[in-house]
Structure 1
Amino acid sequence: IISPISSWAAAVSGFVSGGENGLALFCQAIPFNFYAFFTIIFMLMIVVTGFDFKAMSKYDERLKEWYERNGWQLDEVSDTKLQIVEHGVGAKADSKKPKETKGAVADLVVPIIMLIVFCMTGMVYSGGYFDATSANYHDFVDSFAASNASVGLVIGSLTALILTIMMFVVKKTLKFDDAMSCLIKGFEAMVPAVLILTLAWTLKSMTDSLGAAEYVSGVVASSAAGLQMLLPAIVFIVAACLAFATGTSWGTFGILIPICIAVFPVAAPLRIISISACMAGAVCGDHISPISDTTIMASAGAECKHVHHVSSQLPYALTVAGVSFLTFVVAGLTQGMGLMASAAISWISGIILLIVALTILKRIKCKKE
């Protein structure tokens, strides 16, 4: 949500009407996307201070206890680590030491780089960047806005997959038979995630059929005039609740961004801040929603139980959401000073609030211990 070269930027740009440059508006809103930036900063603060919430630390403690009971070094990580966490301490089935492999760091990094490069190439291809002689031709930036993310991501991921298998076989990191077996195991691992996604999309369709989007749109639009200074914070909360209930951040963009554009004139600072609040709130609600596709894919990729992933990530997201809400209040109150001054004051206030929140949380944890 803070990357202008992405399908997210293209989605947001698509909801901007009236001939305005949606990508330029997206870029202007990036400095005010407090939730995204503060999440990254909060994670770094947790790493540096060693603090962690009990919802997550209990799984780390169980894993360390298992290692100590079996006489392993804590830096020895096996491919069954996550199953150890799920099945409890001292599971006999997972007591074998990890096998020696021929893998290297490059075997992880290079495929990821290829995936990013080819997915971006696939997106600009679907957006008409390579059709120089066609009427559908777009330049590099506009091709992202006009891209078909589904087509581009399929092209990019399939190309990266084929090249990765070729690289592993040539380097003899994996045998060809083993690489093909990994494909089958991958499909098997994705079956639960696909089922949850199907049910989540069904629930989302039912919510849309009930007219939730129209209801929220009417309530926000009718109350916007009298609460202009506090509107960014209100939009943030509404977007977070809407994305949590529906499991989609892109759908939330489609509901709230047109409202923000309609309420404020083109040159108003609150226009940019409110759009940022909409994007930040949508991502926040998407993070904590158990029916969101990103949440479901995260738990599937980590091979942990979905309900455990949702419950253990909630304290992180809600802490940053609380700080972001107060920061949007500051941004709304200081918007009269101009965008640059408002952004600077808001950032300083937000960082101070993050430090205060982490300090209070550490003291509460120390008292309980």
Structure 2
Amino acid sequence: MEGTIYSIIPALLMLLLVLLTRKVLLSLGAGIIVGALMIRDFNILGTLNEIWTIFYEIFFVDGSLNIGNILLLSFLLLLGMMTAFLQASGGSRAFGEWMIKRVKTRTGAQVMTAVLGLIIFIDDYFNSLAVGQIARPLTDRHKISRAKLAYFIDSTSAPVTVLSPISSWGAYIIGILGGLFAVNGITDIQPLEAFIKMIPLNLYALSAVLLVFLVAYLKLDIGAMRTHEKRAIETGELLNPEQDSVPGDLGDTFEPHKSGKIFHLLVPIGVLIIATVVSMLITGANESEGGATLLSIFANTNVNLSLFIGGLIAVLTALVFHLQQNEPRSNTFKIFIEGTKTMMPAIYILLLAWMIGSVIGSLETGEYLAQIVSDASISSSLLPFLFFLIAGIMALATGTSWGTFGIMLPIAAEVAVITDISMLLPTLAAVLAGSVFGDHCTPISDTTILSSTGAGANHIDHVLTQLPYAFIAAGAACIGYLVIGFTNQVLLPILITFAIVIAIGLLINYLAKAKLNQA
């Protein structure tokens, strides 16, 4: 069943169950079991062995520890501990009280969160978790639902990092482009130059960022987001009371220390940011062959190790502040335990997401979708539009934008070179855009999981509330890619795409006000 139409069954089943049951662990588990059954031709013992092997290889591969996965999971635990210290020390409360005097409106709090997402562009994981830690005390004080905070984080993490050449994503993509250009004999443009020229052609990422600010300014609460925001404003409940515990949320576990100061929050977070960035620079420089450049550093940096080092130093910093407050040892132990416990939901989801990603990889779902594109006879004017859709579907099904880049960029380059070389950069940009779009829509994306974790939001609430906004940006991008294909221009498609997003935002705002006036 590998590489056939049947290979999409586990992904479709998982997505359908998520929508019907809103139980992410159940849905992921069902997809894993069905996929393993298909891989082992429905042999029960073989299926059990396959599931165990997939789980085992998360931690051990080729006879040695899978250091990258272990470091990322460890960082999540460290983040939970740091969050607990920030709350117990009174730092989160002090920062919230300080910021609410300066940011006096819900709109201001939302805009500040979006701006933070633009500033922290080095890595999507780092963006998701760091922005959540900084913005959550402020958004909580202004009664902004955690689902909305998760949306702001997710829509300014992958879209921003995919646009930045100085980021882990940018370095990865530029590296792929270099190989593609060499294989296809393209010598008139360099990979970095091509990436920069593709930035204005990445219409989904640009639209998603624009929409974030429209949502903040125009109060565009669509669908399920309206329910979350209404409950938060009217009752102060930032989370859905019907959902289970969420990652990163400690509720009222700790009584904040009365002498808590702003620096009890800002210093550990500052240490986290500085230590992580410095570690990324050092690990990237050490792995760069020959003379290290900024681009080569980010291409070779060890993100997971850097996050772990930054998280460990930040936790130790928060621990020092806590001990200075003369808290009893029993309370210190409780902080470590409760901080660890609050991250377990995110770790469970991440483990199962990795497992179903492995199942989908073994079934060659991505290769099957890619083969459909290769076999199709595609008009050159439709290349950007069609590759945007295909990349979106692939990222949605496989849960990985990076994996989609690796599969679809070579195919897009080959098709464009053969049919119309002028469509090369728009088609490659469409693959990047579609991959981010699919990444935003799937519950098994690492970035989506970490965005809900950073916000302290229920994961499925985040996925379902983000979908309408993702489809708005994607719909506008589709029109833009059709314009690119038929006009081969850059500025006009951007203007049309932005105009569509703004027009939809203003229309939704007008209808919401009209409904409010009628009520």
TM bucket normalised to smaller: 0.7 to 0.9
| Distance in structure 1 (CA, Å) of the matches to 2:305 and 2:255 | 42
Q: 1:242 deviation in Å?
A: 0.9
Asked if 1:123 is matched to 2:280, the reply is: yes
Greater displacement, 150-159 / 232-241: 150-159
Which letter does structure 1 place at the counterpart of 2:405? F
Name the structure 2 match of 1:35.
204
Cα 1:183–1:35 shift into 2, 3 Å: farther
**Stretches of structure 2 lacking an aligned partner (at least 5 in a row):** 1-161, 244-250
Partner of 2:215: 46
CA distance in 2, matches of 1:99, 1:45: 38
The answer to whether the 8 A contact 2:439-2:448 is kept is yes
Q: Who is 1:12 aligned against?
A: 173
Q: Is the CA contact 1:169–1:176 (under 8 Å) kept in the aligned structure 2?
A: no
TM-score (norm. length: structure 2) = 0.58
Task: Please name the residue that 2:492 is paired with.
Answer: 345
- Measured at CA, do residues 164 and 100 of structure 1 come closer, stay the same or move farther in structure 2, by a change above 3 Å? closer
Structure 1 residues 368 and 186: alpha-carbon distance in aligned structure 2, compared to 1, 3 A threshold: same
Q: How many residues end up aligned between the 2 structures?
A: 337
Aligned counterpart, 1:60? 229
Structure 2 residue identity aligned to 1:281: G
> Is residue 2:387 matched to residue 1:235?
yes
**SS of alignment partner, residue 292 of structure 2:** coil
- Matches of 2:394 and 2:502, distance apart in 1: 28
In the aligned structure 2, how far is the partner of 1:142 from the partner of 1:101? 46
Is 1:327 the counterpart of 2:480? The answer is yes
Matches of 1:304 and 1:163 in 2, distance apart? 26
* Stretch moving more, 49-58 or 172-181: 172-181
TM-score for both structures, normalised by structure 1: 0.79
Preserved CA contact (<8 Å) 2:394 2:435 = yes
State the alpha-carbon separation in 1 of the partners of residues 267 and 198 from structure 2.
Answer: 32
Which string of whole-angstrom CA distances, capped at 9 and with x for unpartnered residues, describes residues 140-161 of structure 1?
Answer: 3212112333333323333344
Report SS of the residue matched to 2:260.
coil
Provide closer, same or farther for how the CA distance between residues 125 and 59 of structure 1 changes in structure 2, counting only shifts above 3 A: same
Alignment-derived partner of residue 370 in structure 2: 217
Match 1:3 to one of 154, 164, 182? 164
Between 1:24-33 and 1:192-201, the stretch displaced more is 24-33
Corresponding residue for 1:82?
A: 238
Residue 150 of structure 1 aligns with which residue? 304
CA displacement at 1:175 relative to structure 2: 5.5
Query: Percent of counterpart pairs with the same letter?
Result: 32
Q: 1: CA distance between counterparts of 2:202 and 2:214?
A: 19
User: Which residue matches 1:76?
Assistant: none
In structure 2, do the counterparts of structure 1 residues 351 and 135 end up closer, same or farther at CA, with 3 Å as the change threshold? closer
Structure 1: state its 5+ residue gaps. Answer: 68-80, 336-341
Q: Are the counterparts in 1 of residues 221 and 229 from structure 2 also a CA contact under 8 Å? A: no
For residue 471 of structure 2, what is the aligned residue in structure 1? 318
Q: SS of the residue aligned with 1:2? A: coil
Residue 253 of structure 1: how far off its partner (Å) = 0.6
Letter matched to residue 162 of structure 1: L
**Other structure's SS at 1:153 match:** helix
Q: CA separation in 2, counterparts of 1:174 and 1:322?
A: 56
Query: Partner residue of 1:78?
Result: none
Give the whole-Å Cα distance in 1 for the aligned partners of 2:312 and 2:193.
31
**Residue 305 of structure 1 pairs with residue 463 of structure 2:** no
* Deviation by residue 1:183-232 (Cα, 9 ceiling, x = unmatched): 43232111111111111111111111112122222222233x63211211
> Cα 1:116–1:331, aligned 2, differ >3 Å: closer, same or farther?
farther
Q: What CA distance in whole angstroms lies between the structure 1 residues aligned with 2:333 and 2:478?
A: 48
Query: Does the CA-based 8 Å contact 1:232-1:329 persist in structure 2?
Result: yes
Deviation sequence 1:111-152 (CA, Å, 0-9, x none): 44443333233223223x258xx9665323212112333333
Any conservation in 2 of the 1:10–1:147 contact (CA below 8 Å)?
Answer: no
Which residue in the other structure is 2:145 paired with? Answer: none
Residues 97-136 of structure 1 aligned to structure 2 (within 5 Å): 102-104=260-262, 107-127=264-284, 129-130=285-286
Deviation per CA, 1:311-342: give whole Å up to 9, x if none.
Answer: 1111111111111111122222222xxxxxx2
Check the 8 A contact 2:280/2:301 in 1, yes or no.
yes
Question: Does the 8 Å contact 2:219/2:509 carry over to 1?
Answer: no
Q: Are residues 23 and 97 of structure 1, via their aligned partners in 2, closer, same or farther at CA, if it must alter by over 3 Å?
A: same
Q: Distance in 2 between matches of 1:203 and 1:356?
A: 39
Q: Which amino acid aligns with 2:279?
A: G
Given the superposition, is the C-alpha separation of residues 180 and 138 from structure 1 closer, same or farther in structure 2, using an over 3 Å criterion? farther
How far the C-alpha of 1:251 sits from its partner, in A, is 0.7
Q: CA deviation at 1:287?
A: 1.1
1:251 aligned residue: 403
Instruction: Tell which deviates more after alignment, 173-182 or 110-119.
Output: 173-182
The AA in structure 2 aligned to 1:49 is: L
Q: Report the CA distance shift for 1:60/1:97 in structure 2 as closer, same or farther (over 3 A).
A: farther
Work out whether residues 440 and 470 of structure 2, in 8 Å CA contact, stay in contact via their aligned partners in 1: yes
Higher RCO structure (Cα 8 Å, ≥6 apart): 2
Q: Are 2:173 and 1:26 aligned?
A: no
Q: 1:187 aligns with which of 340, 353, 364?
A: 340
- How well do the aligned residues superpose, as a CA RMSD in angstroms? 3.2
Residue 234 (structure 1) shift: 1.1
* Mapped contact 1:9–1:23 kept (Cα < 8 A): no
Aligned amino acid, residue 275 of structure 2: F
